[in-house]
A = this chain, B = another copy of it.
């Protein structure tokens, strides 16, 4: 048995996995909790009762996008594609449809895991010692032709659940050297008068939308925070930041090397929660219906998404 395979782990929170050589001991894990072939991970926590609780949140139909806008660059440059090729998660090409043109059409080249794109990570995205969640060999799960286990197929019907915003930036951006822990999350709940329940989507605002991902130091979640998410039963994480840079000294990157591959928690990277925070403050409530329905494209390790909060 692989040192990483928690076959003897209980299927309850706080189960642990020992990884001898490369990762820290006693990290939380859901490997085995929903079976050896599970592809949903913590999305399993979104039960009918959770969805019904989410439905109660909808009162006015007001909706807010949590996605950053993407302005595509051109896939080509030169005289027939005159714009400078910029860094963009999406590159486009406008298609010839005849001359004169009866219609316009185009093709997009999408980099799924781009720091400037709000996107949903599939569970096969991270490899731990040759394995992906929940302990399957990467070479069986990911092929040259696409992902056959742990792909974006898990998001086929969209993610509809209750969402809770924890605004860590209520009085300014989180400091660049701060490791967010369970105490920060508990404090946010108390401050906002909300409590995250099992199956909820956790939306976190660090206040870093404008300044992140420039190679500069950034705060992030600690493993202590991931344990809190594991205890509470977070189904999906959406934040303007996730892991600290440089990495925290408490072990492997909390969100991308613990929460995603060990807990099986899909991550929505690079959200913009600023408008959401403003609306929550205005309405005096921090919970809402959360809908994340990316294009129904199977077989990928990630996909762009426009998560919507509906009040």
Q: Which residues of A contact B (CB under 8 A)?
A: 48, 50-55, 58-65, 67-118, 124-127, 130, 132, 138-139, 142-147, 153, 156-158, 160-161, 289, 291, 293-308, 310
Give the residues in chain B near A302, CB-CB below 8 Å: 105-106
A227–B103 alpha-carbon span in the complex (Å): 22
Whether B299 lies near A75 (C-beta < 8 A) is no
Copies in the assembly, this chain:
4
Contacts A62-B51, A63-B157, A83-B145 given; does A93 touch B69 at CB 8 Å: no
For the complex formed, measure the closest distance between the CB of A250 and the CB atoms of chain B, giving whole angstroms.
19
Which DSSP category, helix, strand, loop or mixed, fits chain A's interface? loop
Give the residues in chain B near A146, CB-CB below 8 Å: 72, 74, 83, 92, 94, 106
A147: nearest chain-B partner, CB-CB = B104
Whether A99 lies near B130 (C-beta < 8 A) is yes
Most buried by B among A79, A108, A114: A108
Give the residues in chain B near A158, CB-CB below 8 Å: 63, 65, 306, 308
Contacts A104-B142, A127-B103, A160-B61 given; does A94 touch B96 at CB 8 Å: yes
